Structure 1
Amino acid sequence: MTDPLKRFFGTWIFDRDESEFDHGELPQSATLTIEDHFGTLKFTMTSVAADGTSQTDSFTALPNGAETKLGKSGLADAMRHGLRGDSNLVSEALRGGAVIMTADRELSPDGRTLTVTQTVHITDTESFINSSVYRKAQ
């Protein structure tokens, strides 16, 4: 893994008070773990929803910005992940070559705060943005 990517590694704790969702309810709590998994990025997200139900999701991704075809996901047929500069780790979901979702993970200069801005394009003219702020776990 490249050094800029290593800055994103670790466990991140959701800061509910600093986060804002256009769509859906803010979770009660959440953690995001980003780690090196044999040369790929592994993302694991555990959350407790507003109604108290918990969920854990995990996926791995190549960090080189190349498009990776997906199997039967329902919405997206490809993904790509990579750095934009040294402070932004970006994932894009594509359908038919068009970007339908972007998750831009911006690392603060001190490396202690990760702001994830997720933009979902519902139609060509309508989108929503959820902004989740995370603090690095000690």
Structure 2
Amino acid sequence: MTDPLKRFFGTWIFDRDESEFDQGELPQSATLTIEDAFGTLKFTMTSVAADGSSQTDSFVALPNGGETRLGKSGLADAMRHGLRGDNNLVSEALRGGVPIMVADRELSPDGRTLTVTQTVHVTETESFVNTAIYHKAQ
């Protein structure tokens, strides 16, 4: 793994008070873990929804910015993950080569705060933006 990617590794704790969602309700709590999994990026998200239900999701991704074809995801047919500069780790879900969802994870200069801005393109003219703020676990 390249050094800029390593700065994103670790467990991140969701800050509900600093976050804002256009779509859906803010979770009661959440953690995001980003780690190296044999040269791939592994993302694990655990959250407690507003209704109290809990959920854990995990996926691995190639960190080089190339497209990975998906099987039967329903909406997206490919994913792309990579760095934009040293402080932004970006994931894009694509349909027909066009981004339909972008998750931009921006690392603060001190490396202690991760701002995840997720943009979902519902139509060509309508999008929703959820901004989640995470702080690095000690």
Same fold (TM over 0.5): yes
Question: What residue in structure 2 maps to residue 15 of structure 1?
Answer: 15
Cα offset for 1:47?
Answer: 0.1
TM-score for both structures, normalised by structure 1: 1.00
* Residue deviations 1:39-91 (CA, integer Å, cap 9, x gap): 00000000000000000000000000000000000000000000000000000
Question: What residue in structure 2 maps to residue 94 of structure 1?
Answer: 94
Query: Quick one: distance in 1 between partners of 2:69 and 2:16?
Result: 33
Partner-residue secondary structure (3-state), 1:4: helix
Query: Quick one: distance in 1 between partners of 2:24 and 2:57?
Result: 17
Query: Quick one: distance in 2 between partners of 1:18 and 1:11?
Result: 18
1:49-68 to structure 2, matched below 5 A, reads 49-68=49-68
Query: Quick one: distance in 1 between partners of 2:104 and 2:24?
Result: 18
Question: What residue in structure 1 maps to residue 31 of structure 2?
Answer: 31
Question: What residue in structure 2 maps to residue 126 of structure 1?
Answer: 126
* Residue deviations 1:99-126 (CA, integer Å, cap 9, x gap): 0000000000000000000000000000
Partner-residue secondary structure (3-state), 1:12: strand
Name the count of aligned residue pairs. Answer: 138
Q: Which amino acid aligns with 2:36?
A: D
Question: What residue in structure 2 maps to residue 83 of structure 1?
Answer: 83
Q: CA RMSD in A?
A: 0.2
Query: Quick one: distance in 1 between partners of 2:27 and 2:122?
Result: 22
Question: What residue in structure 2 maps to residue 45 of structure 1?
Answer: 45
Query: Quick one: distance in 1 between partners of 2:39 and 2:14?
Result: 26
Partner-residue secondary structure (3-state), 1:35: strand
TM-score for both structures, normalised by structure 2: 1.00
Query: Structure 2: which 5+ residue stretches go unaligned?
Result: none
Query: Structure 1: which 5+ residue stretches go unaligned?
Result: none
Partner-residue secondary structure (3-state), 1:57: strand
Q: Which amino acid aligns with 1:55?
A: Q
Q: Among the aligned pairs, what percent are the same residue?
A: 88
Q: Which amino acid aligns with 2:99?
A: V
